[in-house]
Structure 1
Amino acid sequence: MRGPHNIIRLIRTGATLERTGAMKVIMDAVEAPATVRMVMRGLVWPFQWLGLKGDPNQPPVTRALQALGPAYIKFGQILSTRPDVVGNDLALQLRVLQDKLPPFPVDVAKAEVERELGQPVDQIFAEFSEPVAAASIAQVHKARLVEDGSFVAVKVLRPGIEKAFQKDIDAFYLAASVVDMVSPSSRRLRPVDVIEHFEGVVLSELDLRLESASASEFADNTKDDAGFSLPMVNWSLSGRRVMTLDWVEGINAADVEAIEAAGHDRTELSRRVLQLFLNHALRDGYFHGDMHHGNLKIAANGDIVAYDFGIMGHLDEYTRRVYAEILFGFIRRDYKRVAEVHFEAGYVPADRDVDEFARALRAVGEPIFGMNAEKISMARLLSYLFEVTERFGMQTRTELILLQRTMVVVEGVARTFDHRMNIWDAAKPVVETYIKDSIGPRAAVDDLVKTARVLARFGPRLPALAETALIRLGEDPAPPPRRKYGPPLGWMVLGAGLAVAIAVLVDALT
């Protein structure tokens, strides 16, 4: 329940951070001002006895996030890919959260499998290993099928994970509501909408049938992508709480020394992982939304293998085009066009000055060009971007949250392979190709054809719609207003009729 009792949960969060020593580590990592340190620690210090102890053998932040629960662990997973934001030491500590969490017993996992699949484990699997990876929501076992002797990966949800996760989400809702109420300047960030989006994304991870469907669709989209592969789903051995896929051998993407020793080209891997993500987002509008190191392997043949499809992102065609134009504008250093796209898409209020916004974007983009990634402080860049968005009244776009977050994660993975990687140089060919295919003259013609076909489907209804509109217009006692924003109804009906005729002609020619 999303009630005031969640205040205790929030107090316990701060108290746990203080009790485990994580509060000081976090403040040091983000270089918080002395006044902020004093206020934050002063608020939680009296309540630290309420904090959870966690595992004293773990580093402070990892210890605190593990103790607090799955939603906090997810947050830590994201930070583990950003050494330029939280520092190398803390990022290394947080990588434990990706797939090395304490597992639940194998007997419990087998019981879950039997309950879900409706038959004894021994009849399905000749072997069923101890957990090989354990994350915040599920763990994975390596098994060998009785039927053909092939090896598979069996993913099993943690018992009681739904209830545990809902507790965290409820507390987040309370925090977002309080922020929305007491901080008017933060309302443009739409904190409640952000939590709703986050809840929807992660709750989809709690039904492995949805993840199986996501894996299947993703495989169809990417089957022709060179240097990229996915494990196939075994549908007959998958359900809501259990998912079975082909077993994939490979080196964990975080093990840079092993990747180097195997002779793989790390610079090429760095470029490829970023370009693959952009292709999936722009070309397909369907991308892996959790591409951290723990969900990627490097196969013996050099392929990047992705798994764990619980979080997938979807972008409609319009949003893809807006995103591509923004990226393309930054790549060309055409900040005026980037600003115009923001205004055209409604991301910035129309009463703001487009030229002033373009200058602010130039201050963000110019320091990037001509520099390699290791010299760019993403923490400072994000900080300045936040100031710019606040200044110009931009609201948080919930449909872009996952895209933006994953872009940060993927860049972090790419930098692990090659810290000199320049994100703009790697992105340029992908974005240029998409612009050429989707925003040029040919794309405009395709859009017109699609529009005409839609109108053609509604052709039989157009006379009735026109008649209804004319009757309502005749019943209106007020004089008709002057035409300001569009053509008269007669021209609209004629235009619709012409569109239908065009659609019929197109269908006949194609």
Structure 2
Amino acid sequence: MKPVGLFQIRRTYKNLGRFRDIVNVFLKHGLGQIIEGLELHQYAPIRWWYKPLHKRLAREETVSLPERLRIALEELGPTFIKFGQLLSTRPDIVPREYVKAFDLLLDQVPPFASEQARQIIESELKSPLSELVAKFHDAPLAAASIAQVHRATLWSGEEVVFKVRRPGIQEVVKQDIDILHRVADLIERYVPDLAFLNARGLVEEFQQVIQEEMDFLREAENASRFKANFEGSKELYVPKVFLHLTTQQVLVMEYLEGTRIDDLDKLREAGVDLDKLARRGSDVLFKMILTDGFFHADPHPGNFLILSNGQLGFVDFGVVGRIREDLLDAMSSTFIGLLNRDYDALTRQSINLGFVPESVDLERYRQEMRADLENTIEPLVGRKLSQIPPMVYVERIMGLALKHHLRLPRELFLVGKCLVMFEGLFRRLSPELDFFAVARPYARRLITERSILGTFTRKFQRE
């Protein structure tokens, strides 16, 4: 493999220092083989080359490669943490041990100065903070790589939170994405064995995802859509967005007072019926996925509060999933097919949706997939959640997809991951909850509605 020249690196990267920082972090955590595989070892610090081989490999012997890569991504900051989190939603191309490691990526950073938050708010809203709020809490409620959150009281008396984008984060992300694009080019040029990753496509997808997450006007739209979808709901409360106080860098929403969904002791002390709460949460989940096709895709316990009236409250809308109409139909049919043990229908559906590569012998595929589905899923049907680890449902389906080289859209993997994470939350609340039983009426309702719509459409076309 031909090495990349220093002149080319200087010309390609506007900040060679950041690029060298990345190389150094990878070497620090025993990831030299990745650097060497991309022919970038010539940019390692001289002191690294003078280390005895056994010292270079010492960390490799005690910590697994996926774990070392996770630690390196965390050290490199928000862009790489978010990129790793995206990779964790792609078990079709990322090995299982890496998916599990990237699932543990932590987005924890120290808060930035409240004075900076005040300045950003005033600059964005073009008014002194004293004219906007009666009280502003300098101590942040939460701090993450993209933004931090401050509580405040408007002059109207309404309690709100200000979500303020971290200073300089847009420039950092832009720089890091440029580097990721260059690394993707190097992978495709010099590591042909990784062609299946479609590295350039992954980076382009990530660029769109993180740019949306940094745009608080987009998050405000997400929150407003959730509020409309759950208008009048007894299960879920969505806070009000103050659009006149919201920009790309500042988001103002109603402050919700409640208990974190994972604080079981406090919930019990408050007399909350945990079984009922788990059922309500599951209803919310399947309405989002199977009715609305628009769901919360960051099910961290800190994003969900239990309000004093027993409602579930969402407090973050930066990461959402959207499901296309054809996939919505497919998911509902899949649920019903699993519940009815109709493995022939499931196999036909995978073909009709274009998931099966053109090079595959369809007759052989039908026979093998039908048998695999029965052997893999049959032992799970009818069993309660308490009898099955949360990952089993999704892992078995994804395992079959990998075995048969199915081309599944990313949305399905994201849905699968969210189902597992939500399931884990609700299982802690109610170990005996039957997840499939909650899903059944939503899936049946959607199929019925689609069938009626299809009949009406065909009649209209004939007339």
Letter in 2 for 1:276: V
Q: Deviations over 1:157-185 (max 9, x none)?
A: 11111233345544554565566667778
1:303-342 C-alpha deviation (Å, 9 max, x unpaired)? 1111211122222222210121122212222222111111
Counterpart of 2:133? 125
RMSD: 3.7
Deviation, structure 1 residue 134: 1.2
Residues 191 and 222 (structure 1), Cα distance of their counterparts in 2 relative to 1, 3 Å cut? farther
- Tell me which residue corresponds to 2:306: 298
Equivalenced residue count is 408
Superposed CA deviations along residues 258-302 of structure 1, whole A, max 9, x for unmatched, are 222222222222233233122122212222222321211110111
**Does 1:445 pair with 2:455?**
yes
Alignment of 1:50-199 (within 5 A): 66-74=74-82, 97=106, 101-129=109-137, 130-146=139-155, 148-170=156-178, 172-173=180-181, 190-199=198-207
Question: CA deviation digits over 1:61-108, x for unaligned, max 9?
Answer: 9976542211444478798xxxxx99xxx99x969x46x642111111
For residue 75 of structure 2, what is the amino acid of its counterpart? A
Aligned to 1:205: 213
Q: Take 1:108 and 1:292, find their aligned partners in 2: how far apart are those partners?
A: 27
1:265 to 251, 273, 284: 273
Percent identity among equivalent residues? 28
SS at match of 1:131: coil
Structure 1 residue 251, shift from structure 2 partner: 0.7
Is 1:219 aligned to 2:227, yes or no? Answer: yes
- Is the 1:208–1:242 Cα contact (8 Å) retained in structure 2? yes
1:418 aligned partner: 430
Structure 1 segments unaligned to the other structure (5+ residues):
20-41, 50-58, 80-84, 453-498, 503-510
Confirm or deny that 1:434 pairs with 2:446. Answer: yes
Amino acid at match of 2:148: Q
Provide, for residues 132-177 of structure 1, a one-character-per-residue CA deviation record: whole Å limited to 9, x for no partner: 111221111100112x122111110111112333455445545655
The structural deviation recorded for 1:382 is 5.6
Say if 1:60 and 1:134 are closer, same or farther in 2 by CA, change over 3 A: farther
1 CA distance for matches of 2:135 and 2:405?
A: 58
Name the amino acid aligned to 1:278.
Answer: F
Residues 1:364 and 2:373 aligned together: no
Residue identity opposite 1:105 in structure 2: A
Provide the TM-score with structure 1 as the length reference.
0.70
Contact 2:394 2:417 in 1 (8 A): no
Distance 1:10 1:426, change over 3 A: farther
The one-letter amino acid of 1:425's match is A
SS in 2 for 1:127: strand
Partner of 2:36: none
- Is the CA contact 1:15–1:44 (under 8 Å) kept in the aligned structure 2? no
TM-score by length of 2: 0.76
TM-aligned CA deviation for residue 121 of structure 1 = 0.7
Aligned partners of 1:263, 1:60: CA distance in 2, in Å? 43
- Checking the alignment, whether the CA contact within 8 Å between 2:332 and 2:446 is kept in structure 1 is yes
* Structure 2: gaps spanning 5 or more residues: 1-8, 32-51, 60-66, 89-95
Please tell me whether residue 389 in structure 1 is matched to residue 398 in structure 2: no
Is 1:46–2:56 an aligned residue pair? yes
> Which range moved further: 243-252 or 343-352?
343-352
Pair 1:412–1:109, CA change in 2 (3 A): same
Letter in 2 for 1:268: K
| Alpha-carbon separation, structure 1, partners of 2:133 and 2:366 | 63
Partner of 1:342: 350
Q: How does 1:369-384 map to 2 (within 5 A)?
A: 369-377=381-389
- One-letter code aligned to 1:131: P
Tell me, in whole angstroms, the C-alpha distance in 2 between the residues paired with 1:296 and 1:12: 38
Which residue identity lines up with residue 151 of structure 2 in the other structure? K
Q: What letter matches 1:323 in structure 2?
A: M
